[in-house]
Amino acid sequence: MSKEQTILQTFSELFCKTQFKDVPPEVVHKAKLLTIDLIGVSIAGLKMDFPRMMLDYLSSLRGTEDATLFGFKEKVPAIHAALGNGVTAHALDMDDGYRFGGVHAGVAVIPAALAYAETQQADGKSFLLAMVLGYDVVNRVSKAMNPSHLNRGFHTTGTLGVLGAAAACGVLAKLNKEQLTSAMGIASLQGAGLLQILVEGAMVKPLHPGKAAMAGVLSVDLAKRGAKGPIAVLEGEKGLFKAMADEMHLETLFEGLGQHFYLADQYIKLHAACRHIHPAADGVLAVMKDKKLAFADIESVDVATYPVAVSFCGATEMPDTAEGAKFSIKYSVAMAAYYGDVGEDRYVPSVVANPEIQSLASRITSRLDDGWAKAYPSQRGASMVIKSKAGAVHKVDVPLAKGEPENPASDEDIIAKFRHNAEGQDPQLVEAILSLLLSFENHSVAELADLMRQLQR
């Protein structure tokens, strides 16, 4: 960054001149897979209570018929589509993320970009480019702010997702550098998300990315009309950095900017729980498979892990809601042992109340480990000691959960997850959506929207 430019101006300058041909084919391919993944978790999210409340509310409003609310025949204003689809996409808590930033860029960027792309009659190439750039700014800024930002109690997806949503929509709108800088500045004023929802009120956690997606659309439309946002809103005297973090790592903010796209570093979730639970879930499943342990064989489990995992998911109280269970190491590990998976259909009241799962969960402990604390965030690991009722002791270390770039989910894993999340929908429709997304650069966003309106809620 030159001394004459602010952080947002530096991003805007690059984003305004980047073209689809500048993005490496492997990054384009991953962008398509991440879109498939997010559409899949959104389809599953349509069944859940809070998305249904939000979608029913939004569909009752009137306005310009601009964009598609998944599962609705009638179009709605783009800001409503971004909000509703953002809420739906995060309800399952199975969307992609970036471990160095503690953030889920996709759930803010993709719903905003799809909604705005419809208003622009954009093609798949334009959407994919906008998506890649939106992820880049979210992940880079979140990496610079964390873990301090998270430790202060902020939900990064809500606070910084606005940047990526605005960047993506601004690229689709073909804003110039000044307009795009203003749009991201206006969006930054609207970022919000408090992690009290991990303590109580977890049902409404998807409001954070939904509002971030909505803010991206709103901010670009305001910038197009001449609204001027603060251009030093991140690093300024009363900016976001000073307000929301105690420690910054700005030295990495622009490393490889324009050459390395941070979307490539995104992880995929294969369990429908908070990401900080995944190493422990992977560990218990691996030991059970390797040692041929049955659920009834397990006496106790001790999980030693990094501080953020314990602060987010290490509560000693037994969860009494499906949303709370998604943020409980002890409960989710017990559930993984009981079912052999941590699928989205496991987080329902009847399963949470299962006395056998509760019994094992009461014998599972989680604690801080200095080694994993020092390794975080390069590694998000857990060490597990699993004791059997026969007296055997099994130990396992999981440095990185499945789905990270260093321990990747295969294309087949991601497609299988998509199909599983879409169960209950017309199989021909599901395969049509998948086929289109796998070759999205050859299609229009309108074609995808036509398919999404055919989904059953």
pLDDT band at 202 (very low <50, low <70, confident <90, very high): confident
Q: Average pLDDT for residues 176-200, to the nearest whole number?
A: 95
Rg (CA), the chain: 21
Confidence of residue 360 (pLDDT cuts 50, 70, 90): very high
The separation between CA 229 and the C-alpha centre of its own chain, rounded to angstroms, equals 26
* pLDDT at residue 347 greater than cutoff 90: no
pLDDT of residue 3: 58
- 2 pLDDT more than 80: no
Q: Residues with Cβ < 8 Å from 56, sequence gap 6 or more?
A: none
Q: Mean pLDDT check: name the lowest of 122-126, 313-317, 412-416.
A: 313-317
Q: Which residue's structure tokens are 């880079």?
A: 140
SS3 sequence, the chain?
A: CCCCCCHHHHHHHHHHHCCHHHCCHHHHHHHHHHHHHHHHHHHHHCCCHHHHHHHHHHHCCCCCCCECCCCCCCCECHHHHHHHHHHHHHCCCCCCEECCCCECCHHHHHHHHHHHHHHCCCEHHHHHHHHHHHHHHHHHHHHHHCCHHHHCCECHHHHHHHHHHHHHHHHHCCCCHHHHHHHHHHHHCCCCCEHHHHCCCHHHCCHHHHHHHHHHHHHHHHHHCCCCCCCCCCCCCCCHHHHHCCCCCHHHCCCCCCCCCHHHHCECCCCCCCHHHHHHHHHHHHHHHHHCCCHHHEEEEEEEECHHHHHHHCCCCCCCCHHHHCCCHHHHHHHHHHHCCCCHHHCCHHHHCCHHHHHHHCCEEEEECHHHHHHCCCCCCEEEEEEECCCCEEEEEECCCCCECCECCCHHHHHHHHHHHCECECHHHHHHHHHHHHCHHHCEHHHHHHHHCCCCC
How are beta strands 364-368 and 298-305 bridged, if at all? parallel
- Give the pLDDT confidence score for residue 4 in this predicted structure: 83
Closest CA to 141 of 107, 191, 66: 191
pLDDT value of residue 219: 98
Whether residue 147 has a cis bond before it, omega within 30° of 0: yes
Same fold, 7-270+427-452 and 275-398: no
Distance CA 35, CA 72 (A): 20
What pLDDT sits at residue 41?
97
pLDDT per position as a tens digit, 433-451: 999 999 999 999 999 999 9
Average pLDDT score over residue span 93-105: 96
Question: According to the model, what pLDDT value does residue 351 have?
Answer: 86
Distance CA 42, CA 93 (A): 10
- In this predicted structure, what is the pLDDT of residue 60? 94
Question: Whose structure tokens read 């050459």?
Answer: 259
Spans of all domains in the chain: 7-270+427-452, 275-398
Identify whether the C-beta of residue 184 lies closer than 8 Å to the C-beta of residue 170.
yes
Measure the CA–CA gap between 395 and 306, rounded to whole angstroms.
17
Separation CA 135–CA 110 (nearest Å) = 9
Looking up tokens 């705005």, which residue turns up?
A: 116
The percent of residues above 70 in pLDDT, for the chain, comes to: 99
**Is the confidence at residue 233, as pLDDT, over 80?**
yes
The per-residue pLDDT for range 28-84, each reduced to its tens digit, is 999 999 999 999 999 999 999 999 999 999 999 989 999 999 999 999 999 999 999
- In this prediction, residue 149 has a pLDDT band, given cuts at 50, 70 and 90, of very high
**What's the CATH architecture for 275-398?**
2-Layer Sandwich (3.30)
Q: What is the mean pLDDT of the chain?
A: 96
Whether residue 405 is predicted with pLDDT greater than 70 in this model: the reply is yes
Of 107, 53, 124, nearest to 449 by C-alpha is: 124
Fold of 7-270+427-452: 2-methylcitrate dehydratase PrpD (1.10.4100)
Mean pLDDT of the region 229-238:
97
Tokens 């959506």 map to which residue? 433
∠ CA 93-98-348, nearest 5°, is 10
Count the neighbouring beta carbons within 10 Å of the beta carbon of residue 255: 11
Which residues are CB-contacts of 20 (< 8 A; sequence separation ≥ 6)? 28, 125, 126, 128, 129, 441
Residue 97 burial class via C-beta count within 10 angstroms: exposed 0-12, middle 13-18, buried 19 and up: buried
Give me the sheet containing 298-305, strands edge to edge.
364-368, 298-305, 382-388, 393-398
**Is the bond leading into 377 cis (omega within 30 degrees of zero)?**
yes
pTM above 0.85, yes or no: yes
Does position 1 have pLDDT exceeding 80, yes or no?
A: no
CA pair distance 299, 301, nearest whole angstrom: 7
8 Å CB contact between 82 and 165 = yes
Please say if the pLDDT value at position 192 is more than 80.
yes
**Residue 267, both tokens:** 């992880």
150: number of Cβ within 10 Å: 21
Residues in the chain, overall count: 457
